[in-house]
A and B are shown apart, each in its own frame.
Chain A
Amino acid sequence: MHSPMPSLQPCPKRASDDIVRTAVRMGTFVTIHVVGPAAAHKSEAHSPMLREEAVEGAFAWFDRVEECCTRFDSGSEVMRLAAQAGVPVPVSTLLYQAVQFALAVAEESGGAFDPTVGHAMETRGFNREYRSGRQIRSALDRGAPVSYRDVRLDPERKTITLLRPLVIDLGAVAKGLAVDLAARELSPFENFAINAGGDLYLGGRNPDSEPWSIGIRHPRSDADLIEAVRVSNRAVCTSGDYEKRSADGGHHILDPRTGASANGVASVTVIAPTAMLADALATAAFVLGPAEGIQLFDRLGVNGLIFSVPSFSTDCVAPDLPVLTRYATQAMHEYL
């Protein structure tokens, strides 16, 4: 219904009421889609202008999160924090909550997800500064191993103390967080979608008044979908081994516990109440592997799919698509 070819779309009326905006944020394309009011049962309060304003406000959250959490600007809050190891640093609510959440995931995943070893590994797409291509390498003592246990939070004074010089990498949290904040900005509207480079939050229903239908990219073929899920008021995030962005062209996801390549997982998709959680858990499951990853999802009450490859063909993009093994959480069938 948003296709440029109206002839294929029998209901152009709905499309004209929808607001769809795409912009570049956080190194990727962000699309915000607010479904127009469904004729009768929507109040006039949601005028097109109000909706436009809300969409603007939603985009603004992406800017704010990026400003705060980027490792690629020495003036960002997270980098100013990195420059002050050993002392309690008062931080903004945004940074405090983001770090607290990242540490909680680290704890929960037994260190499989660790925001403090981020500068040594390439976990998610666009780890190079997407705007300059520079490799960000801080002048830290790279010999000393650090972990999430080297970060202390003071919940009363809202300070963060880095026990050792380290850089907190919120890469696997920040984009999801921005999506969630944007979703909250759009909460006056029943039906909307936010797509930040394949990390999504789907509010309500799609323009056909059905749950949103989300395709999951095939990890071995950019042009195909491996699965499709139906969701409403949920975030869907996918992390794949095809996200090869490290400068040396090597495998992009390392196990923070061993420093070795995390093999065996081709892609992880998580369906969770928030994108921040989905994004972080997808990264964690990548390291944990299919069996432990699914266990983690079940324990947390989120759902997910993991596609794994036989270890011998992990780095091989063969002309024939390798056979992928599919793992799913117990309640995953609810979304299929």
Chain B
Amino acid sequence: MDKSTLLLLAIVLAVFGTSVAAGRPSWGIFTGIAIILLAAGLAAGALPMRSDDYFDERAGAGQRISKSLVTLSSTAIVAIYAAGYHRTNAAAHKFDSQSEQGRTVAEATPAPPPTPENPPAPAEPLGSLSSSTPAVKKNVRKPAAANPKSGSASTEPGESPASASETGANPAAKAAASVQTSYKDGLFLGWGSCRHGDIEASVQIQDGKIVTAAITQCLTRYSCSWISPRVPSPVLPDLPREVVERQSAKVDYVSGATESSYAFADAITAALSKASE
């Protein structure tokens, strides 16, 4: 029911309850109070829903918006955190997101008019999607051991039955699937540079998607640990400390992006251009 209708009903009930309580001294007082309580309950139910709605509140005074913006960011985070679950197991997480994408494609399928007219059609893509899921799972293991060439070869047969059966039902779904497999599987390296030197990055691709990206070499004037000061990390090589220490000796962290992180992005770009050749 609409919130404003609820509120209106609450007010009407409250007025009615008051008049009943005032008019009939013997039993009316209890009935009246009961009706007023019901009205209060309705109002309480309707009012909190209003405060959820930032854009309704916005209609009010200008100053109230300002406070809402700070609150809004906090409530957004609480809401997302509460709604979301997380997996510590990265593999499970990845698998989950893949099947989730599959599901949404399946949900999208009934939307275009041709599908409902053709009853067997919806059943087919759903079945093929679920059967393609184990195939995806198998492929995850293969490229890790195999070299890039054979990895990419093994991916394609796994993908094609799914997209082929989808073709009849929804061309859009097929297009979406083909975009995601534009990279060759394997491990690719690339260099990037900035004023301070060069960074080599690696990109690991499985099933046409990037699974990891990391720094493999860092030849900058300053240590790569600069990007994240004071951090010993297996990813970042332990380079000899350079002479020029940032003023960060006194600070814990630095706010603002650094040249080195751009160099990293360039290195990844170079690595990926090899993967899409």
Are A and B part of the same complex? yes
> Which A residues have a C-beta under 8 Å from some C-beta of B?
1-5, 20-24, 27-29, 31, 33, 53, 56-57, 60-61, 63-64, 67, 73-75, 80, 83, 92-94, 97-98, 100-101, 104-105, 107-108, 125-126, 128, 130-133, 153, 155, 177, 180-181, 184-185, 193, 195, 197-200, 202, 206, 212-217, 219, 222-225, 228, 236-238, 240, 242-243, 245, 267, 269, 272-274, 276-277, 299-302
Contact partners of A126 in chain B: CB under 8 A:
265
Give chain B's interface residues, CB within 8 Å of chain A: 52-56, 58, 65-70, 72-74, 76-81, 83-84, 86-88, 90, 93, 97, 101, 104, 108, 172, 175-176, 179-180, 183, 195-196, 203, 210, 212-215, 222, 225, 227-228, 230-233, 235-236, 238, 241, 244, 246-248, 250-259, 261-262, 264-265, 268-270, 272-273, 276
Instruction: With A181-B80, A198-B257, A277-B73 as known contacts, state yes or no: A153 contacts B179, CB within 8 Å.
Output: no
Query: Which one of B66, B214, B250 has the greatest number of beta carbons of chain A within 10 Å?
Result: B66
- Beyond contacts A93-B80, A269-B256, A273-B70: 5 other A-B pairs, Cβ-Cβ < 8 A, are A22-B235, A100-B76, A155-B52, A238-B257, A245-B265
> Nearest chain A CB to B173's CB is how many angstroms away?
10
Chain B residues within 8 Å of A105, by CB = 69
Distance (Å) between the CB of B120 and the closest chain A CB?
A: 26
- Residues on the A chain within 8 Å of B241, using CB: 4-5
Please classify the interface of chain A as helix (H, G, I), strand (E, B), loop, or mixed, using the class held by over half of its residues: mixed
- One of B70, B84, B104 near A64 (C-beta < 8 A): B84
**Can you list 6 A-B pairs, Cβ within 8 angstroms, ordered by A?**
A23-B235, A53-B88, A60-B90, A101-B76, A198-B256, A198-B261
Contact B69 A300 (CB under 8 A): yes
Cα separation A99 to B53 with both chains bound (whole Å) = 14
- The listed residue (B66, B88, B195, B244) touching A300 by CB distance below 8 A is B66
Contact A94 B83 (CB under 8 A): yes
Nearest 8 pairs between A and B by C-beta? A217-B256, A133-B269, A2-B230, A93-B83, A215-B251, A238-B256, A97-B76, A31-B228
B253 contact from A21, A125, A130, A193, Cβ within 8 A = A193
Rounded to whole Å, the gap between the CB of B276 and the closest CB of chain A is 7
Cβ B255 vs Cβ A236 within 8 A:
yes
CB of B231, distance to nearest CB on chain A (Å): 5
Bound form: Cα–Cα A86–B192 in Å: 42
Instruction: From known contacts A185-B86, A217-B254, A223-B244, infer whether A130 and B93 are also in contact, taking CB-CB under 8 Å.
Output: no
Residue of A nearest to B258 (CB): A222
Is B195 a contact of A132 with CB atoms below 8 Å? no
Tell me whether B97 and A108 are in contact (CB under 8 A).
no
| Neighbouring A residues of B246 by C-beta, 8 Å | 215, 223-225
A243 and B265 within 8 A (CB): no
Selected contact of A131 from candidates B72, B255, B268, CB within 8 Å:
B268
Known contacts A132-B269, A195-B253, A213-B251; A75/B213 CB under 8 A = no
C-alpha spacing A24/B265, complex, angstroms: 10
Given contacts A67-B97, A302-B70, contact A276 B253 (CB under 8 A): no
- Residue on A with the closest CB to B225? A4
* Distance between Cα atoms of A274 and B72 in the complex (Å): 10
**Cβ distance A83 to chain B, nearest Cβ, rounded Å:** 7
CB-nearest residue of chain A relative to B232? Answer: A4
* Cβ B180 vs Cβ A177 within 8 A: no
**Best-surrounded residue of B257, B272, B273 (most CB of chain A within 10 A):** B257
- B215 (CB) vs chain A CBs: closest residue: A24
Name the residue on B nearest A239 (C-beta). B256
User: Distance (Å) between the CB of A201 and the closest chain B CB?
Assistant: 10
* Central interface residue in B52, B210, B236, B264, by most chain A CB within 10 Å: B264
Task: Known contacts A3-B230, A243-B257, A300-B66; decide if A225 and B251 are in contact (CB<8 Å).
Answer: yes
CB < 8 Å neighbour of A29 from B58, B90, B261: B261
Q: State which of A132, A276, A300 has its C-beta within 8 Å of the C-beta of B77.
A: A276
Q: Which residues of B contact A130 (CB under 8 A)?
A: 265, 268-269
Asked if A28 contacts B273 (CB within 8 A), the reply is: no
A200 touches B255 (CB 8 A): yes
Residues of A within 8 A of B227 (CB): 29, 197
Whole-angstrom distance between the alpha carbons of A269 and B55 in the complex?
Answer: 28
Contacts A195-B253, A197-B261, A302-B70 hold; do A22 and B77 have CB atoms under 8 A apart? no
* Residue from B53, B72, B180 with most neighbouring chain A CB atoms (10 Å): B72
- Closest residue of chain B to A21 (Cβ to Cβ) is B233
> With a CB–CB cut-off of 8 A, which chain A residues contact B236?
22
Are A198 and B255 in contact, with the CB atoms below 8 A? Answer: yes
The residues of B that contact A101 with a CB separation of less than 8 Å are 72-73, 76
Q: A252 to chain B: closest CB distance in Å?
A: 11
A100 to B56, CA, bound (A): 12
Q: How far is the CA of A272 from the CA of B108 in the complex (A)?
A: 39
Minimum Cβ distance to chain A for residue B139 (Å)? 17
> Which residues of chain B have C-beta atoms less than 8 A from A153's C-beta?
55
Q: Which residue of A lies closest to B273 (CB)?
A: A133
Contact at A125–B252, with CB atoms within 8 Å?
no
